[in-house]
Structure 1
Amino acid sequence: MLIEHINRRLRELDATASRRRLRETATPCGPNPRLSDGTDLLSFCSNDYLGLANHPQVVQALADGARRWGVGSGASHLVSGHSLAHAALEARLASWMAPHIPGAQALLFCSGYMANVALMTALGDAQTTLFADKLNHASLVDGALLAKAALQRYPHGRLDTLERQLQACSTPLKLIVTDAVFSMDGDLADLPALLRLAEAHDAWLVLDDAHGLGVLGARGHGALEHFGLHSERLIYMGTLGKAAGVAGAAVVAHPTLVEWLVQSARPYIYTTAMPPALAHALDQSLALIEGEEGQARRRHLQGLIARLRQGLERLVAMHPNLALPPSDTPIQPLLVGSNPRALALGAALQARGLWVPAIRPPTVPVGTARLRFTLSAAHTEAEVDRLLAALGEALQELPA
């Protein structure tokens, strides 16, 4: 009965062109992967925004870390798995956020998903209301649903609605929860305005900066540096598997909040700590991000973003059934409408040697299926031009 039920559900996915499929790569992360079947592609799929996932210094740091620390932590942080490598990485991240969060302390997690679920469930008790943007990442949504707090969602970016919700709220504790860079549209939340609302209504601002850390800010310190924000009310989550190129995540906040996470966050307490070798590699990655090389990579990345957007804008002008939402980040979505149309366009690009994901519901709202281009500092201008030329050809072939 169970197998029959699941097979029926899978056929339903097939009927709406919604089934996802795995692909195996046979090369390290980079713009030019080879698939397991030997196919060579030019990829615009990765979140490796600064091209650090295969950076020689980061690779060497991981090897050095493995020689010093071995390949596993052996236990959760609270048992015996917390090493000097973890502590050093937490100290570096706390120093990054110290200008923005008074007394900032950092706490490592194995993934951004776990960090967000930990935040929502540890802070979202019965005395709390969570106010969440409707386009928040799934990890924030799932964490909010698991929490004991009341949940109110506001339409994407509609701070007027959020303000009314805050005014009407009677719970003692209030948490505004938002992505900094929204992962499917690439737009930035109005964090200064959100912080003003938090201060005006005695609320706290929980910020998921998964796609901003390393990319935004003069030194790559993320969205708080980009906007120049400073407040005790900020609770920051940064992912370390995207622009930082490795794995894991960290929450940075007031020391009392971090201590409460240590004592109560189940995804922290009941999980084996990340291997200390990864923490060792991440320390090198963060050093690159805030140094001269990181600055140069961000400048190059911004040039690629501008080049891609100019080309996409020209194509949208020629094909009015497409839409290009505003985004100044490495995430550039081209909305094409239906699932079959998005899949067909992605397949046409792959036939030309390009790998671009077709993003479909439920990841995005129905009717907004899209191609999602993500840029890396490892890309070249010539590769962006190749993408635009191939996309122009594919659009000419696609039925209106």
Structure 2
Amino acid sequence: MSFEFINTHLQARLHDALLRKRHQVQHATARKITINNKTYLNFASNDYLGFGDNAIALNELPALGSHSSALVTGYQVQQHALEQYLCAQLGYEAAMLFSSGFSANSSVIKALFQDKTVAQHSAVFQDKLNHASLIDGALHANAALIRFNHNDMNHLRARLEKSTAQHKLIISEGVFSMDGDKAPLSELLALAKQHNAWLMIDDAHGFGVLGKTGLGSCEALNTEQLPELLVITFGKAVASSGACVLGSKHFIDYMLQFNRDYTYSTAMSPLIAGLTLARIKAIKTADDKRAKLKANISYFKQLAKQHNIAVMESSTAIQPIVLGCAEYTLNVANKLKKYGVWLTAIRPPTVAHNTARLRITLSAAHTKHDINHLVNSLVGALV
């Protein structure tokens, strides 16, 4: 029977406690979420600063749709203004917007290594915990894919020294989405310079939160130190959607010629671009929200330690508890729902086999009472 493998694979996922389902959300904020008419404390959102509920006022509302590709008639003043602002703030010459972070990450790598004639002279070095979009981009690029152990600079150095590639691209996340730890940015930059390689940083979970004014993992760097490629997304701390790739004018001009996702996709909505720019300007001065988030992270870690809850080493809003077994992790997540806590059970293939986890995300919107309830619920569920 045709396509019977579909049912076979679905049954296998169900048997292994790995079957994924969607939940229809009736209402959600960084603090609370309502599903099936029941409201939970929300510890699964990436709205780290709690900006999602804040209204944005614009003097004039742009059009909802851009109506075409950016290379046809879709590149409008709102997209240009957002790109220029980000370039000025982050220290880059040029930028290009994408409608999703996944598209930005994967397409940039594919486009950079689109030339088959240089494939044998090209290599992409990726942290083993990099996001699926980064791995997928490299798998479809005309370059060798070389993985190095997570945040292991000695392993990366050995890989670079062994490589004979002329064109080398090192890729890391600024803040790792499933572990919550940060990349050793200064060491990555030093290794890239030493081996005549480019560095690409995906700062999806750092932008808006890290840095003195929320500009992310690279804010403290001067212009001469910046990674050659920086990807930021707007669906986390910015509480919007879409992404931006920043680099030299030369590089962005190259992307405009060879990036198929950009060429053949309808451009980002002018309305989204205008609203996102206004939100980023607000983030620049959101020192109180960043301070509140930092305090909440510290408070949660303190309580977790008091109750012997083994949280991973992370100083960011992402606080994972690795439980190992996928079925057990799913059961704990379901128990937490009974306590009024919404948490996601992260299971393979999103994370490695035997590393299923509860991915707790904290927000500036959470109160101490919320965090107390979370920890008490974890104590009751982790039995």
Q: Is the shorter-chain TM-score for this pair beyond 0.5, marking a shared fold? A: yes
Matched AA of 2:85:
R
TM-score, normalised with respect to structure 1: 0.91
Where does residue 242 of structure 1 map in the other structure? Answer: 236
Classify the secondary structure of the residue corresponding to 1:286. helix
More divergent stretch after superposition (176-185 vs 123-132): 123-132
The CA deviation at 1:52 is: 1.4
Displacement of 1:30: 3.1
Q: Report the residue type matching 2:244 in the other structure.
A: A
Aligned match of 1:304: 296
- Contact 1:232–1:254 (Cα < 8 Å) also in 2: no
CA deviation profile, 1:124-153 (whole Å, cap 9, x unmatched) = 242421000010000000000011111110
Does residue 123 (structure 1) correspond to residue 122 (structure 2)? The answer is no
Q: Which has the higher helix share?
A: 1
Q: Does the 8 A contact of 1:131 with 1:177 survive in 2?
A: yes
Q: CA deviation at 1:226?
A: 4.6
1:17 aligns with 2:17: yes
Matches within 5 A, 1:171-186: 171-186=165-180
Structure 1 residues 229 and 256 mapped into 2: Cα distance closer, same or farther (>3 Å)? closer
Percent identical residues: 38
Cα distance in 2 for partners of 1:2, 1:265 equals 36
The one-letter code sitting in structure 2 at the alignment partner of 1:330 is: A
Deviation by residue 1:200-234 (Cα, 9 ceiling, x = unmatched): 00001000000000000000000001566743652
**Quick one: structure 1 residues 233 and 283, their matched pair in 2 at CA, closer, same or farther if it must change by over 3 Å?**
closer
- Asked whether 1:394 is paired with 2:378, we answer no
CA distance in structure 2 between the partners assigned to 1:114 and 1:308 by the alignment: 34
> Considering only aligned residues, what root-mean-square deviation do their CA atoms show, in Å?
1.5
Q: CA deviation at 1:82?
A: 0.6
Q: 1:277 to 1:162 in 2, by over 3 A?
A: same
Secondary structure in 1 matching 2:27: coil
**Partner AA of 1:81 in structure 2:** G
Q: Kindly indicate whether the alpha-carbon contact (under 8 Å) linking 1:106 and 1:250 is maintained by their aligned counterparts in 2.
A: yes
Question: What CA deviation, in whole Å up to 9, does each residue of 1:287-332 have, x standing for no partner?
Answer: 11101xx111000000000011112223336xxxxx4221010000
Q: Secondary structure at the match of 2:172?
A: strand
Output the CA distance in 2 between the equivalents of 1:229 and 1:352.
Answer: 49
Q: Which runs of structure 2 are paired with 1:109-258 in the superposition (5 Å)?
A: 109-125=98-114, 126=119, 127-226=121-220, 230-231=224-225, 233-258=227-252
Query: Of residues 87, 99, 107 in structure 1, which corresponds to 2:96?
Result: 107
Q: Give SS of 2:176's match.
A: coil
**Aligned: 1:371 with 2:358:** yes
Deviations 1:33-57, CA, capped at 9 Å, x for gaps: 211x211111101111111122122
1:320 alignment partner in structure 2: none
SS in 2 for 1:346: helix
Mapped pair 1:89 → 2:88: no
Letter matched to residue 110 of structure 2: T
Shift of 1:169: 1.5
- Asked if the contact 2:169–2:198 (Cα under 8 Å) also holds between the matched residues in 1, the reply is yes
Q: What amino acid sits opposite 2:71 in the alignment? A: L
TM-score computed with the length of structure 2 as normaliser:
0.95
Q: Is the 8 A contact 2:201 2:227 kept in 1?
A: no
Contact 1:192 / 1:229 at 8 angstroms: preserved in 2?
no
